[in-house]
Structure 1
Amino acid sequence: MKKRYIFLLVLLVVIVVGAVGVRSFIRKSEVALNQLSALSIANPDLSKIADGIYEGSYEAFPVKVVVTVEVADHRIVSVELNEHRNGQGKPAESLLPHIVATQSLELDAVAGATYSSKVILKAVEQALLQGR
């Protein structure tokens, strides 16, 4: 009987600790996703960006992006994705050629990959801001 009591007590402790951990993870996720929803992305003036190769990164749980942006003659020549930690956001990578084609960060997010889209655009913005 005593072993059963100890087993039930240990089981209860494990359940409580697990529930607290899950609740903490959910809360962290909600806060991060709310911040991502409100994330604003500036469109840097390319005429003020010096020629060069710039690295930018941005992380907002659960997405992390690292990019390399090449600028020549005040134009975005290329955007390379060095790292993209994402959940279902892989389709957002299709933004990269559109950034080069439009020479702008004012692009709509990719459906189904809104958060990754915003983080990719923010990482490119951070890279371009280094060239001022």
Structure 2
Amino acid sequence: MKNRKKILLSGIGLIIGIGLVFGGNYLYRAHKYQQIVADIEIQPINLAEISDGVYSGHFDALLVGAKTKVTVKDHKISAVELVEHKTELGEKAEKIVKDVVNQQSLAVDTVSGATNSSKVILKSIDNALNSEPSD
């Protein structure tokens, strides 16, 4: 009976220990994610200085990430393709790419309920437009 009790208590202790490790890791990643998103700065774009081409960008904030392809033609954003959008928290904000094309700017409103995801997508587009064209 005492051996069963020891085994049961050891098993419970092991489960609690594993839970603490995984829970602590998740809390650390969530905190780091919030810091990364808070530090995002979107640079104003001057489309007159951007050559025609397809530009690729990405941004990863641990729990949310995005990869984008931005097509520029005649100094206008003609298309934004959201190649990948990883989200573990919040709602998806894919509609923001249409706003960027329609307004020809990264200074668009974030999607309500998906602010962090919106900021990550915008930063991916920003990174794309500040890179060399891929074709």
TM-score scaled by structure 2?
0.88
Higher deviation after alignment, 34-43 or 50-59: 34-43
Coordinate RMSD, CA, aligned: 1.5
Q: Structure 1 residue 20: deviation in Å?
A: 2.5
Whether the aligned pair in 1 keeps the contact of 2:29 and 2:63 (CA below 8 Å) is: no
1:58-73 mapped onto 2 (5 Å cutoff): 58-73=59-74
1:106-117 mapped onto 2 (5 Å cutoff): 106-117=107-118
SS of the residue 2:95 aligns to: helix
1:69-80 mapped onto 2 (5 Å cutoff): 69-80=70-81
Task: Measure, in 1, the Cα distance between the counterparts of 2:56 and 2:36.
Answer: 23
Whether the aligned pair in 1 keeps the contact of 2:50 and 2:129 (CA below 8 Å) is: yes
Whether the aligned pair in 2 keeps the contact of 1:66 and 1:81 (CA below 8 Å) is: yes
- Give the match for residue 88 of structure 1: 90
Question: Does the alignment pair 1:54 with 2:55?
Answer: yes
Higher deviation after alignment, 109-118 or 3-12: 3-12
Unaligned runs of 5+ in 1: none
Task: Measure, in 1, the Cα distance between the counterparts of 2:53 and 2:116.
Answer: 28
Higher deviation after alignment, 112-121 or 19-28: 19-28
Higher deviation after alignment, 21-30 or 62-71: 21-30
Whether the aligned pair in 2 keeps the contact of 1:89 and 1:115 (CA below 8 Å) is: no
Whether the aligned pair in 2 keeps the contact of 1:70 and 1:78 (CA below 8 Å) is: yes
Judging by fraction of residues, say which structure has more helix: 1
- Give the match for residue 120 of structure 1: 121
- 1:58-77 CA-to-partner distances (Å, cap 9, x unmatched) read 11121111111000111111
